Amino acid sequence: MKPDKEGREMLESAHGLMRSMGSSRTVTIASVNSLALGGGCELAMACDFRIAAESASFGQPEINLGIIPGFGGTQRLPRLVGEAKALEMNLTGTPIGAYEAREYGLVNQVVPDHELFDTSLSWARKLVQQPPLAIEKIKRVSHHGKLSKGLEQEGKAFGEVFGSEDAKEGIQAFLGKRTPRFQGK
């Protein structure tokens, strides 16, 4: 199956942004107050810290569209929650709540909804006081490993399924609010 050009370009752009977040001197904090599904969950995972409101939920529902996570979900999720939970989330598409996300390591802290902004700001105030060079080196060493290779493989697989008949059916079914009929094509 030939990778879809549009999907490949979108994927490379997202991977570039998220990799630059990991290698930047700037510490990133995701403040999640609602749904972080698919690309939103992947963007949150690319951040250094994730603070969640009690009402937040996280998931990788791409399987329900006939595609796979393409912005790091097959690579960052297992690094954060473990292989078994990541496989469950990626293969079932079932989201988890904020407290379960905290239990598995996807979220650093869960707070009441009305405290999310203040808590995130408090984290930012603390982190901005840390030495920038040390932050940069800690992040660089912490993110060193096989992530780039994994993202490369994810990108190839994403490109292959993004242009598939199943992907078209899954997306059309989602938009039409009906159950998809996947055929493995």
pLDDT digit string (tens) for 26-70?
899 999 999 999 999 999 999 999 999 999 999 999 999 999 998
Annotated active-site residue in 6, 12, 54, 62: 62
Instruction: Please report where in the chains the tokens 């690094």 appear, as a residue.
Output: 79
Report d(CA 30, CA 152) in Å as an integer.
24
Q: Residue 145: which pLDDT band, with cuts at 50, 70 and 90?
A: low
**Amino acid at the residue 29:** I
Topology annotation, domain 5-175: 2-enoyl-CoA Hydratase; Chain A, domain 1 (3.90.226)
Residue 42 annotated to the active site? yes
62 a catalytic residue: yes
Residue 140 or 127, more confident:
127
pTM to 2 decimal places: 0.81
161-170 confidence digits (pLDDT tens): 777 888 888 8
Query: Pick the catalytic residue: 12, 42, 88, 103?
Result: 42
Outline where DSSP puts E strands in 71-154: 96-97, 109-111
For the chain, helix (H) and strand (E) counts, in that order, are: 9, 6
Contact 39, 71 (CB under 8 A): yes
